[in-house]
Amino acid sequence: MVVQVDADGQHDPSCIEELMAPIINGEADISIGSRRIHNENSRPPLIRSMGIGFFSWLTSKATAEHVTDCSSGFRALNKRAFDLFADDYPVDFPDAEALIAAHRAGLRIREVPARFRTRNNGMSSLRRWKMMYYPFKEIFSIAVMMTRRQRLAD
């Protein structure tokens, strides 16, 4: 199992056990720590929150799974998911794309509540012009990905 933790200090490491539980229990191949299920203290700025909501909705529609926080960088992957992404991981803005690709490859995705803290290091990659560019690029990337044949996870 691999646990992904963004380097900005927002993810509470005390939640790692809960993050891994769906994988350990055989319920999921990818587990996402969602700030939108648990943490009433984690309120991103309005525009970012709207973006998370929109792309989580889009991811939910594309995967037929209820996803509340597709942009969470707090994830656990089992060997099947890791092997899939070791060969081909979406670059640039991989949030929704990676989850849709995983679903199309036959992987199971679950969310668990996770506590998030205020960012204590670094700055968001979505600043200035990227904030305007991101939605168009991500929608286009998802549309292109949906037209391609997806290999199944081993």
More confident residue, 149 or 53: 53
pLDDT of 131 reads 63
Neighbours of 57 (CB within 10 A): 15
Q: What is the pLDDT of residues 23-64, one digit of tens each?
A: 999 999 999 998 877 655 556 667 777 888 898 999 999 888
Q: What is the pLDDT of residues 61-119, one digit of tens each?
A: 988 889 999 888 899 999 999 999 887 776 666 778 889 989 999 999 999 998 877 66
pLDDT of 152 reads 77
End-to-end CA distance of the chain: 15
The Cα 49–Cα 54 span in angstroms is: 9
pTM for the model stands at: 0.80
Q: Is 136 within 8 Å of 92 (Cβ atoms)?
A: no
The Cα 19–Cα 136 span in angstroms is: 31
The Cα 68–Cα 31 span in angstroms is: 12
Neighbours of 147 (CB within 10 A): 6
Longest dimension (CA), the chain: 42
Alpha helices in the chain (DSSP H): 16-24, 46-63, 79-87, 95-104, 129-147
User: Where do the structural domains in the chain lie, given as residue ranges?
Assistant: 2-147
The Cα 81–Cα 93 span in angstroms is: 18
